[in-house]
Amino acid sequence: MAARLLHDLKNVLVGYSTSLSHSRTSATETLVGRLSASRHRDSALVLITSLRSLWGTLTTPTPSTIEPIRFIRGLVAETLGVLPIGVGITPPSAQVEDCPFTTSSEFLQSILHNLIKNSVEAMPAGSEIRIEALRQEDLLLVDVQDTGPGLRSELIQQVLAGEPINSTKREGSGLGLLTVYGMLKRINGSLSGTSTPGRGMTWMIELRQLPTQGAEVTTAEEDE
C-alpha cells in the first residue's frame, strides 16, 4: 500500500514539475499551466497526508487511561473550529456515565479524526455528524453517524475486508477508512458499518481495553 502511494506521489510530482517547466506562448496557456500545477500540488498534499496516516498503523500503540466521553467531547470541541460552514457535529451526552478505559488515546484520536474528516468531505452544507459512545463492561462502543450520501454495501464490505476503495470525493485517495481499519486492529478494536444510500452512513467502533501494565493516565484537564 505504501509503495502504491509513493508511486502515485512520484507521478504527481513529475506532473507538477512538467506543468511549471513548459514554456508558454500566451497568457491563456500560462494560466492553464498554473492551474494544472495547482491541481498536482493539491493531489501531492492529499497523498502525503495519507502516507502519514498509514505510518500510524505501523507504530506501536501506547496504552493510556482515558474517560471516553470527556475525551471524545474534547476532540469534538477542537474540531468545531475547522468544520465547513453549514456542517454540524454533536458529541456524546455529558450525562452518560464516564468510567476509565484503557486504550491508545493517540490511535483513538486519529481514528475519530479520520471518520469525521471522511464524513465532512462527503456531505453537503446543512448536514450533521453525531457521535455516540456507550460502555458495556469491558467494551467501549462508539458510533459516528452522518447525514451524507452513504456508501454502497459492496464498498462497505471492501473496507471491512481491509481492501482500499476508490474514493468518490475529488482528490480523495480512498485510504482514510482503510487507515481506520488498520489502526483499530492494533488496539483490540473492530469496525462495522451500515448505510442507507442518500440518507447517511454509520460507522460503529468496538474497542476492548488494552493491558493496563505501564499505561499512562490521561487526565480530564489534558483532554479539554
Dump pLDDT digits (tens) for 114-145: 899 888 888 877 789 999 999 888 899 999 99
Q: Report residue 2's pLDDT band, with 50, 70 and 90 as the boundaries.
A: low
Q: Is the pLDDT of residue 100 over 50?
A: yes
* Mean pLDDT rounded to a whole number for the chain: 79
Q: Is the pLDDT of residue 109 over 50?
A: yes
Strands (E), 25-174: 64-66, 88-90, 101-103, 128-136, 139-146
Q: Across residues 178-193, what is the average pLDDT?
A: 90
Name the residue with higher pLDDT: 83 or 32. 83
Helix (H, G, I), strand (E, B) or coil at 40: helix
Q: Report residue 54's pLDDT band, with 50, 70 and 90 as the boundaries.
A: low
Bridge partner residues of 190 (DSSP)? 206
| Residue spans of alpha helices (H) in 81-209 | 105-122, 153-160, 176-186
Measuring CA to CA, which residue among 119, 171, 178 is closest to residue 8?
171
Helix (H, G, I), strand (E, B) or coil at 208: strand
Q: Report residue 211's pLDDT band, with 50, 70 and 90 as the boundaries.
A: confident
| Residue spans of alpha helices (H) in 57-94 | 68-80
Quote the cell numbers at residue 199.
440518507
Name the residue with higher pLDDT: 151 or 10. 151
Name the residue with higher pLDDT: 188 or 28. 188
Q: Across residues 88-102, what is the average pLDDT?
A: 88
Distance CA 58, CA 61 (A): 9
Q: Across residues 204-214, what is the average pLDDT?
A: 85
